[in-house]
Amino acid sequence: MLKIKEIRIEDLKEGIVTDNPTPAFSYMLESDGQGVTVQQSQIKVFLQENLVWDSGVHVEGETLNIRYAGQPLLPFTAYRVYVWVKDSKDDIAEGEAIFETGRLGEKWNADWITDSGYYFFVFSPKPMVFRKTFQLAGNIKNIKLYSTALGVYSLELNGKRVERDYFSPGYTSYHEQMQYQTYDVTDLLEKENTLIATVAGGWAVGDYSMMHTNKIYANRQALLMEIRMTYVDGTVQVIGTDSSWEVSNKGNWRYADFYNGEIYDARIDIHQIPYKQADVIQPKHRPKLIANYGSPVRRQEKLVPVKQWKCQSGGTIYDFGQNFAGIISAKIKGTSGQKITFKHAEICMNGDLYTKPLRWAKARVVYTCKEGLQEYTPRFTYMGFRYVRVEGIAEDNLELSAYALYSDMETTGDFTCSNEDINRLQKNIAWSGKSNFVDIPTDCPQRDERMGWTGDIAVFASTACFNFRMKRFLDKWLLDVVAEQGENGGIPDVVPPGKYGKPRTTACWADACVMVPWASYLAYGDKELLARQYDSMKKHIQGALILANKGSGGEAPERYIWRAGFHYGDWCAPGENKKQWKEKAPWVATAFLANSCGLMSKIAHELGHETDAAYYRELTDAISDAYMKVHTDGNGKLHQEFQTGYVLPLYFGIGTEEEASRMANRLAGLVEKADHHLETGFCGTPYLLFALSDYGHLDKAYKLLLQDTCPSWLYEVKAGATTVWERWDAVRPDGTVNQSNNMVSFNHYAYGAVGDWLYRRVAGIEMIKPAYREFKIQPMPGGNLTWAKARLQTSYGEIASAWHITDRFFIEVKVPVNTSCRLILPDGTERMLGSGEYSFSCEWK
C-alpha cells in the first residue's frame, strides 16, 4: 500500500508562511512493497476552491523541490496543496497541506519605533518595553502579528507569551536582509487587549564578538510591527507601530545580553511602570524584510540535575550531566527582594566552577524575587554549560531544571555500534552540533565569542547534514555569506561579521562558500541553492587564484601554490603553536583550492554550465599537478612530511593512483610512528580516516579511531567529555586545563567531523546521487566491532544499515520508495536493490 508520509513546503511540514513567489514542494512516500517507484504524479494548488496551479501529470515524476509555477500568489493568503501519486504497482496515494503567504513585498502599514532619548555606552542596553492597547471592532475571524526588531524581542498578549521562538528576528546581515515573524494570536484575544513587546540588544545593538563591540547595526533597539485583524465579514483592520505606542526601559529585564546574561526583577509590575510616547525613526540600514526563512531557535530537550553539592566558595553546584547550550528553568519559593544568582560553566575543578575559559563572559543570571511561588526562565540570553552554581536560596526552596536551546532542526540520523566509547563519541558529536546551531553556525556556545566561523562549518557540514535536517538553517546563513562577500571574492572569517573581520580569501574558511552549498545540495538535492550561490563561488575562486599567482612569477607550477595572504593553516594541530599551524599554509591552501575547483566543476555541470565545468576541471588538474611537483619528490613523498600534508591530497583526489598509494603508505607510516595518534588540526582531521581506509589501511584507521590516549577522540570520551573539544588536550592528562592562547572550549564541533567516516565507512551509507536518490551501502568492519547500525531520514524516506558478525556477516538494509541502493558485502558480492527491507549474509574471515 502506498502512502504519502509527509508534504513539505519550503522544507516545512507545518506553520508555513513564505514570501517566496515560487515556493518549493516536496513529499515523502511509504510503501510495504519492494522495488516501488513513482510512475505518475501531480500537484495542484488551490485558493479556497479555485485552482491556481496544476503541475500536470508527470511520468516517473520527481518528488523533491518542485517549484510552484501558477498564478501570482497573493499576500496574506492561505493556499491548499493537493498531491496525487501513482506507483509502479498501480497503488495510488493522495495528500493535502496548507501554506500561507506573508507580505510578498507589500509595504508595511507601520513605522520603526524606539526611545530616541535612551543612550548607553558600554556592553548592552537595558531592554525596551513597548506597549499597545486595543479593542476589537466586531466578530473576529483571526488576528495575526507581523513583527521584527533591531535587537531580539519577545511578545506577550494579555499576559501570555506569544511565541515559542527565542532571539527573534534571528541573526542575519541586517544591512541586507532581516526576517520578520508571523504569529496567529486569535486564541489569546479578549475584548480589551494589551500587547507588550520587550526588545533586548541582541546581536544588532548589544555586546557582541570577541572585540566586545556594541551598536553594530543600530544605536538602540527598535520595533516594527503590524497587528492585522481580519473580521468575519472580511474587513481587515491594521494597527501598526507608530507614535501612539508607548515605550519604557523600566521593565522586568534590567539587563540582557548573550555573554553576561540577564538581570530580572520579578517585583516590577509591567503595567505600573512609567511609559512615554514612542519615537518614529528611520534605521540607518534599509534591509529587505522577508518572512522567516531560517530555522528559529526553540526550547528543546529538558534536562534535570544528576547530582548537586555545596561548594567552598558558597552556594550549591548543580550538575546536569551533559554539556549543552541552553537556559535554566527555576521554580522558586521566595520572598520579595530576595536575590538569586545562577552562574554557569562547562567544567568544575576542585569541586567548584572553573570559569577561566569563559574569558570576559560573566555567564550568569540574577533574579530578584517577588513574594511566594514563582517561575523564571531567561528569554534574552543563553549559556554553554553543564554546571550551575546557585547562590541566594536554600535548596529546599528551589526546583532547578534546564532546557537545551538550538535552531529547530529535526534529528535525521543516528549511529551506534558494539563499542560504547564510540557511541558516546557519536552523542558528543550530536550535542556539539546542537549547541552550536543557535540561529547561525557558531564555534562555541559559552565564552565571549559564539560567532559564525566559516572554517568550522566548512568541514562539519556533511556530518551535520547526516545528524540534522539542515536545509533551511544553511540556506539562511549562505544568504549572509553572499551579502558579506568582498569585491575581491573574499569572505569574512565569521558570517555575519558584525564589526569583527573584513572579507579576505583564506583557505578552508573562505572555501565554506563552496563546500557548504555543495554539502547541502548533496543532502537535499536543491539545485536552486547552487544557482543562487554560483556567482559567489566563482568570485571566491578567482580571488584565490590571484593570490596564488601573486609573487610566483606567473609560471607553472608555482603559480598554483597558494602561499600569499592570511591562512590559519592546520589550525589547532596537537603539540604545535599558532606559528607552526600557519606555516603549513602552502600545503593546506593549495589542496583546498584544488578541492574547491573540483567541486565547482561538478556544480557547473549540475547547472548546465559546461564551459565553466571544463575550465574548473582544467584548473583542478593544474593545481593538483603543482601540489605533487612542488611538495613531493615525484614518488609520493612530501619534502616536509606531516599527516595533514598527505591527508588532504588523498581525500581530495590529488595525484595519480600510483602516487596516492605511495602517499597513503607514507601517511600510514607517520601514524604508526606517532603510536597511532593523530597529528592533524581542523583542516586535516575530518578526512584522516578516509585517507587511510580508502587506500588500503583500514586497520590503521580503526586503530586511530579507537586510540584513547591524548590526542584522540576517545581520550576526550575517557576524560568524561559529553561534547567535542576545541583542542585535543583541553584537559591535559595531568588534569590541568590547557589555557594557552586563551582559547579552550569544551564544546566545538569541528573535530566531530569524524562522524562522517562512521556513517559512510563503518555503517557504509554512501550517497551516489543527490538527496540519496541512488546510494551505496558498503560497510567496512574492523577494530573488533561485532555490530554497527545507522539510520538516516532522507527527503525520500528512511535509509537503514544494520550489520553484525558471528561466524558469518549479516546485514539488514532499508531502502526508501523511489530510490535505489547498491549493496556491496565484505566478500565482494553486489546486489542492486529497489525500495523495501532486505536481509543478506556472507562468509566472514
Residues 6+ apart with CB under 8 A from 2: 29, 30, 31, 36, 85, 87, 89, 91, 92, 93, 817
CB 436 within 8 A of CB 461: no
pLDDT, tens digit, for every residue of 552-611? 777 889 899 998 889 999 999 999 999 999 999 999 999 999 999 999 999 999 999 999
Contact 726, 711 (CB under 8 A): no
Does residue 726 have an active-site annotation?
yes
pLDDT at 211: 86
Q: Which of 449, 659, 679, 716 is catalytic?
A: 449
Given the residues 246, 484, 716, 726, the one annotated as active site: 726
Task: Name 715's Cβ contacts closer than 8 Å, sequence gap at least 6.
Answer: 707, 708, 709, 728
User: Which parts of the chain sit beneath pLDDT 50?
Assistant: none
Amino acid letter, residue 434: K
Q: What is the pLDDT of residues 770-817, one digit of tens each?
A: 999 999 999 999 999 999 999 999 999 999 999 999 999 999 999 999
* Distance between CA atoms of residues 658 and 664, nearest Å: 10
CB 409 within 8 A of CB 295: yes
Model confidence, pTM? 0.97
Q: What residue spans of 577-642 are helical by DSSP H?
A: 578-583, 585-606, 610-631
Distances (CA, A) of 13 to 10, 79, 98: 9, 14, 9
6 is catalytic: no
Closest CA to 401 of 381, 377, 379: 377
Compute the C-alpha angle 61/63/67, nearest 5°.
95
Predicted confidence at residue 551, as pLDDT, reads: 65
Distance between CA 209 and CA 493 in Å, rounded? 12
What confidence score (pLDDT) does residue 742 get? 82
What domains sit in the chain, N to C, each tagged with a CATH number? 2-101 (2.60.40.10), 112-258+265-294 (2.60.120.260), 298-407 (2.60.120.260), 770-843 (2.60.420.10)
